[in-house]
A and B are shown apart, each in its own frame.
Chain A
């Protein structure tokens, strides 16, 4: 009769241990070292944007896109590019 509760508690204990191990592992990893080379290129080229989205120019360089551009040219506009809908429009970013 007692078996299932023990199995449950052991399972919860093991999963909690796994989570803790992953969290400790995450704290040990240092992204500053990993990004050392990237920073060298950023300084050398004067880069301002991540190469995350490359389907449209104003998405490729989000921080450099026009402030006053008509809606066809602005993130979150009625747009054919799917990623444009993921980026908040300029006026919202400026307001924050």
Chain B
């Protein structure tokens, strides 16, 4: 046992010494490799944490949203629809929603105007999200001017700035009274943006959705499960956001791995031939080269995942911000709660470390099975 450990320690020493001979090439491989693992792990950690938070938060969203559809487009829904909905059994609460967008031309930014389902602010008062407060440089008790559709202006007092920790959901919101909302948007009485439904027995949701669609043909029903599915597909492995980020990383990684596979140069050839001529077995040379790959890949893997954790959870995913932000003027500031499971780490390991070691072993094996004099020639 002791001999086996000593043998491997010697092989590791020799492998590290060997790596040092090609300092430039190997350090380049090491940096690219570490960077690839860093990016892949950052993407997976970022999306899995966001996904978990989205699921936890949206589990409290309304069970169903009923939208009126006219000529395939979302339209304002009339109060008469409420009566039809009241006639459908199983719906415990029916709450018409009033929400819309308000464009601020000076800053070229879109805010979301929302009227609460219950407990509205008093007329003339508003609550604003922390992103709105930040971009407008306003605090509580300041006044915010709005331009009504009739081009008259309306001053509303900021009663409250919503807590900064909730900005994942409330960043761009301006919450106001129903009367102020109708005043600003010009939305007529008896009209609403859509209707939120709450259902006690969650098993009945699909049945109730079917009943609604049968009794009101010009509506679209968005259930909570489809809302959750939307966000799941946004943050899912196979979906665009992750795929977009990961594809760049995979290309870079492929270049490194293929380089390792095809670039057995004259020096490597001579070295293996010489070692075999000195009496090394094929298995010894393969173990030696495997240790070289293990040294590079284990250090890259560990440094990569640790730095990804630090990037995502201590530095708030700074590298991904511009990608997700797009052209948004308002971007929520949120501290993600880490969500790492062993499967994420095993996946990262399987798609980065294993192929790298495998590529190296195969290339060395191809050389090792040739005779020493042929290899050195």
**Which residue numbers of A lie inside 8 Å of B, CB to CB?**
1-6, 8-9, 11-12, 15-16, 18-19, 22-23, 25-26, 29-32, 34-35, 37-39, 41-55, 57, 59-60, 62-64, 66-69, 76, 81-88, 92-94, 96
**A41 in contact with B166 given A62-B234, A69-B72 (CB within 8 Å):** yes
Q: Does B332 contact A (CB under 8 A)?
A: yes
- Residue of B12, B56, B327, B332 with most chain A CB atoms under a 10 A cut-off: B327
16 contacts between A and B (CB under 8 A): A5-B13, A8-B12, A19-B345, A38-B169, A38-B170, A42-B169, A45-B173, A48-B65, A48-B222, A55-B110, A64-B194, A83-B325, A85-B240, A93-B226, A96-B229, A96-B233
Contact B233 A92 (CB under 8 A): yes
Tell me which residues across on chain B come within 8 A of A54, comparing CB atoms. Answer: 109-110, 112, 171-172, 328-331
Residues of A within 8 A of B325 (CB): 53, 83
B240 / chain A contacts, CB cutoff of 8 Å: 76, 85-88
B116 surroundings in chain A (CB, below 8 A): 44-45
Q: Is B52 within 8 A of A64, CB to CB?
A: no
Q: Taking the complex as formed, is B277 at the interface, i.e. its CB lies under 8 A from any CB of chain A?
A: no
Contact check, A22 vs B309: say whether CB atoms are below 8 A apart.
yes
Q: Is the CB of A47 within 8 A of B9?
A: no
Q: In the assembled complex, which residues on chain A have CB atoms less than 8 Å from the CB atom of B118?
A: 44
State the main secondary structure of chain A at its contact with B: helix
Minimal beta-carbon separation of B63 from chain A (angstroms): 10
A94 and chain B: residue at smallest CB distance: B226
Please, which residues of chain A bring their CB within 8 A of the CB of B229? 93, 96
Docked pose: A93 CA to B240 CA in angstroms: 11
Closest CB in chain B relative to A46 CB, distance in Å: 4
Check B16 against A5 for contact (C-beta < 8 Å). Answer: yes
Q: Nearest residue in A to B61 (C-beta to C-beta)? A: A48
- Structural contact, B74 and A85, CB atoms closer than 8 A: no
Nearest B residue to A90 via CB reads B230
Contact of A51 among B131, B302, B340 (CB under 8 A): B131
Could you say which residues of chain B place their CB within 8 Å of the CB of A26? 309, 313, 338-340
With A47-B169, A57-B101 known as contacts, the answer to whether A83 contacts B328 (CB < 8 A) is yes
Decide: B230 and A93 in contact? CB cutoff 8 A: yes
Q: Which residues of B sit under 8 angstroms from A53, Cβ to Cβ? A: 324-326, 328
Which residues from chain B sit less than 8 Å from chain A, CB to CB?
A: 9-10, 12-13, 16-17, 49, 52-54, 56-58, 60-62, 65, 67, 69, 72-74, 95, 97, 101, 109-110, 112, 114, 116-119, 129, 131, 162-163, 165-173, 175, 194, 196, 220, 222, 226-227, 229-231, 233-234, 239-241, 244, 295, 298-299, 302-303, 305-306, 309, 313, 323-332, 335, 337-340, 345
Least CB distance from B7 to A in Å reads 11
Q: Contact at A8–B295, with CB atoms within 8 Å?
A: yes
Taking the closest CB of chain A, its distance from the CB of B179, in whole angstroms, is 17
The 8 Å CB contact of A37, one of B165, B222, B226, B234, is B165
Contact A55 B327 (CB under 8 A): yes
Contact B56 A46 (CB under 8 A): no
Known: A41-B162, A63-B231, A69-B72. Is A5-B52 also a contact (CB below 8 A)?
no
Assess whether A86 is in contact with B328, with CB atoms less than 8 Å apart.
no
- Write the nearest CB–CB distance from B178 to chain A, whole angstroms: 13
For residue A81, give the distance in angstroms from its CB to the closest CB of chain B: 6
| CB-based contact A55/B326 at 8 Å | yes
Q: Are A31 and B324 in contact (CB under 8 A)?
A: no
